[in-house]
Structures are given as C-alpha cells and as structure tokens.
Amino acid sequence: MNVDASALADLTARLGTADGALIRTVVNSTSATETGFALGLLAERLPNRTLVAALNLRETLSEIPEAPFPMRVDFETLARVARLERRGQSWVRLVTQEPGTSEIEILGQGNLCYDVVVRLGESSSLLKPAPINGDFVKPRALELILSAPGLLADVIELMGDMGMVHNPRFYLDVDDWQMEHAVEAFHGISDLF
C-alpha cells in the first residue's frame, strides 16, 4: 500500500479534531472539486506529508472495485488461496495484522462477489456504496479502515487473490495531485453551485 504508516497515524489522530470532516472529504469524496477545496483549507493547518498520505489513501480506496463484480476465480479456489473460512452463505477471512477480532466477509457465489463487509470487533460495514455517487467507501467502513490499517492491507491483498488489478496512482506532493485533477476540478465547480 502506498501510504506512509506514520503519516496515516497522524491522519487518523486528526479525525477527531475540527479538521476531521475535511480530512474525510479529501480521503473519501469522489469529487475532485470537493477534494481540492478541502485540500486548500487544510494546506495551512496540516503538514504536506499528512495531506499526501490522505491523497494516496484516496487513490487506494478509489481502485477497490464497486460491488457486485466478477472475480477471476471461483470461491472454492479463492478460499484455498486466501485463507477463507465458510460461514453460512459467506466467506470470512480473519485479519492477521490487527489485534482483536478484525475480519473481512465476502458475499457471493460462483465467481461473482456480491459485496465485501469489513468488521472490527462488534462494528461492521459494507465496504463500497452501490452505486458510487459521493464517497468511494461507506463512511462507517472508512472509520473502521482508519482504526485498523491492517484491515485495508488485507482487503487489497484479498482483491489480488480474486484476480483484481489494484494499481493506484502514487503522489509525492499535493501539487502533483492538483495538477493531475485541475481540469476535472474546474468542471466540477458548476456542479457545486
């Protein structure tokens, strides 16, 4: 994953502050315009490294496919490759990098994934909204992912086991993101007003 662990920890720590809503917008909004506005407001208050970590996390989340999606393998093959256990009508993977009970549950049959559920302790959420309109992942899923970074790493690994290509863009500076998304952000201004 292309997100610096210490910058991600700083990002997670700031979610409970007054900047939390803006940080969530940078990480999770599908609108380049909203993200650009949030970046502009946060630029004076957060270190560049933290903002770059937020943008790289954004790109990582945007590359996770929207459910339902066809996998390149069937569930029986996936279960052998990805350490999945059958639980009723779904398949579950315990997250090994996190203390406590973290797991990823996959709903589907054959080679069709109906949805992905992330769970941390007693809290759970479907991963992606369907259809994707305003956010890349559901807000509750974002909270769980930021609370347990190993959860996202396991989701990405599991997507690879499914045969899905996960190749997010990687940014070294906020200016790189702004230059790449400038045209899209200007076109989105009319949607906001």
Q: What is the DSSP letter of 129?
A: -
How do the domains of the chain map onto residue ranges?
A: 5-63+169-192, 69-161
Confirm if 169 and 62 have CB atoms less than 8 A apart.
no
| Predicted structure pTM score | 0.88
C-alpha distances out from residue 190 to 16, 54, 141, Å: 31, 25, 30
Per-residue confidence (pLDDT) for residue 4, from 0 to 100: 56
Q: What is the pLDDT of residue 129?
A: 81
- What is the model's pLDDT at position 2? 47
pLDDT score for 185: 75
DSSP per-residue letters across 33-71: HHHHHHHHHHTTTS-HHHHHHHHHHHHHHHTSPPSSEE-
pLDDT tens track for 52-78: 999 999 999 999 998 899 999 999 999
26-45 confidence digits (pLDDT tens): 999 999 999 999 999 999 99
Size (the chain), residues: 193
